[in-house]
Amino acid sequence: MNTYKRKQKRNRAALLAGSMSVAAMLFAAAVPAAPASAAAMSESFAALDGLKRVEQLDLETALQLVLEDSGNIMLLELQAEALESKRQQLNDQANSLEQMPVQLPDTQEELIGDADPTPDQALWLGSMIATNTVLNQSIIATNMTIEAQRKELDQTVRQLYTDRQNTLLGIEEAKEGAKLQVTSQYVQLLALDKQIELAESYLAVLESDLSRAKTLQKLGKASAKQVSDAERPIREQKEQLEALNDGYRAALIQFSFDLGIEYNPELKLAEPDVEPEPVVRADTETLLAESFELKRQWNDVELAVWQKNRTGDSSEDGERYLDATVDIAQEQAELAKLELAKSIDRTYTDAEQAYRDYEAALQDKADAEADVRAATVQYENGLLTAFDLSKLKFALQQAETAVATAKLQYAAQMSRVEAMNAGLIVA
């Protein structure tokens, strides 16, 4: 038996044994929850008015929509404005606090000079010195209170400045996070759609098996059990196909809600414009320097250093506390840097694996195409039945779906790489 015939026999045995399961395909774990949940979501979504209806959508448009409709980004922008307004208000208040420059004369020399007091001066000199001494002490206490208030306001102003800087980082981080989430949802929907198409084709294969079994039974060449065995996988496949359709509907409802568009079950999604190519790693230190998380950490370090320099606590315990605060902030920044470096490596490793999976899927597709070409020749020469040829054509369809799915997975992984280049490093 030649190589092709051995391979043909193996393929036919595997297919007829029902070893193919669409649930085992890529992205199977991405199927959302129960059908009842999808139906409930659909009813709730239908109650929303004023949503834009979209008939077809590409990834770039989806990314624009999510940035325009993100409530989280809007709230962060409002928060940044509020922080800046409060910072300016308190800064003006701190600048308006002025100490009393007056120092009243509270000694005999300051009041009458070096000469001895006259009898008239002696009558008021003592009481004047006592009164001015009390007033000077009150002025000193007032000035100390004003200085303490100014320092407290300065610290609050500096804290608000740091909070605003971190909020601005949060806005950019939220934008990248929203784009990453929508890309993931978009890819998931396309993958589910391809699974559904493949599942429908596999159902047709199973129904063909059943028809063949019934024909053989009529001819006395197959038993009732063989017919029953052919019916069972059809029921299972129909259930799985229903679950896939419900999962797609639930995912599409959530996707539409996140974009702020009307739920349209007939929405057409364009394939992302991506051609997989080998992954090129960027310099880790460069990525870390642009990381939103690390920038936040170093903002906190700068705040701790500023507080230490401006507080000026003269006590030994107070000095140790301020030093410890700076050390803790720096240590947290270093730990964050280490974890982010690990995440960078994992992200690139996952992207590289996605590219390898795509290359492997291409090779499997090429093998399946070769099998179909060889089988077609045999079929045309009467050496292979149409039934067996249809099995191999379905195997080719499965391989083509695997290539498309691997391409989508590559696109999803590369979106994480792009987000990382923009500053969002996902753990």
Query: Do 40 and 46 touch, CB atoms closer than 8 A?
Result: no
Query: Do 323 and 308 touch, CB atoms closer than 8 A?
Result: yes
- CATH 1.20.1600.10-classified regions of the chain: 277-427
Tokens encoding 136: 């000077």
What tens-digit pLDDT sequence spans the chain (427 residues)? 444 444 444 443 343 333 333 333 333 333 344 444 555 555 555 555 578 899 999 999 999 999 988 888 999 999 999 999 999 999 998 888 877 677 788 888 888 888 888 888 778 888 888 988 888 888 888 888 888 888 889 999 999 999 999 999 999 999 999 999 999 999 999 999 999 999 999 999 999 999 999 999 999 888 999 999 999 999 999 999 999 999 999 999 999 999 999 999 999 999 998 999 999 999 999 999 999 999 999 999 999 999 888 876 567 777 888 889 999 999 999 999 999 999 999 999 999 999 999 999 999 999 999 999 999 999 999 999 998 999 999 999 999 999 999 999 999 999 999 999 999 999 8
- The DSSP secondary-structure symbol of 30 reads G
pLDDT score, position 114: 80
Identity at 54, one-letter amino acid code: V
DSSP bridge pairs for 268: 56
Asked whether the CA dihedral 21, 23, 24, 26 is positive or negative, the reply is positive
Plot region of 172 (φ>0 → left; ψ -120 to 50 → alpha; else → beta): alpha
Query: Do 238 and 203 touch, CB atoms closer than 8 A?
Result: yes
pLDDT score, position 127: 87
pLDDT score, position 32: 40
Name the phi and psi angles at 219, rounded to 5: -85, 0
Name the phi and psi angles at 35, rounded to 5: -60, -40
pLDDT score, position 49: 57
Which among 193, 187, 181 has a CA at the least distance from the CA of 258?
181
Query: Do 301 and 330 touch, CB atoms closer than 8 A?
Result: yes
**CA–CA dist 341, 329 (Å, integer):** 18
Q: Which residue, chain included where needed, has tokens 């004047």?
A: 128
**CA–CA dist 238, 227 (Å, integer):** 17
Look up the pTM and report it: 0.78
Question: In sequence order, what DSSP letters do the residues of 133-155 get, joined into one string?
Answer: HHHHHHHHHHHHHHHHHHHHHHH
The model's pLDDT over 101-150, given as tens digits with 9 standing for 90+, comes to 777 888 888 888 888 888 887 788 888 889 888 888 888 888 888 888 88
**CA–CA dist 387, 378 (Å, integer):** 13
Tokens encoding 411: 């696109």
**CA–CA dist 164, 84 (Å, integer):** 7
Name the phi and psi angles at 28, rounded to 5: -60, -35
Measured from the Cβ of residue 185, the count of other Cβ atoms closer than 10 Å reads 21
Which among 288, 301, 299, 298 has a CA at the least distance from the CA of 340?
288
**CA–CA dist 126, 224 (Å, integer):** 127
pLDDT score, position 317: 78
According to CATH, the topology of domain 277-427 is: Outer membrane efflux proteins (OEP) (1.20.1600)
**Count of CA atoms in the C-beta half-sphere (13 A) of 302:** 13
Identity at 282, one-letter amino acid code: A
**CA–CA dist 42, 39 (Å, integer):** 5
Query: Do 371 and 11 touch, CB atoms closer than 8 A?
Result: yes
Q: What is the dihedral of CA 50, 51, 53, 57, to 10 degrees?
A: 160
**CA–CA dist 220, 173 (Å, integer):** 69
**CA–CA dist 409, 357 (Å, integer):** 9
- The DSSP secondary-structure symbol of 56 reads E
pLDDT score, position 35: 42
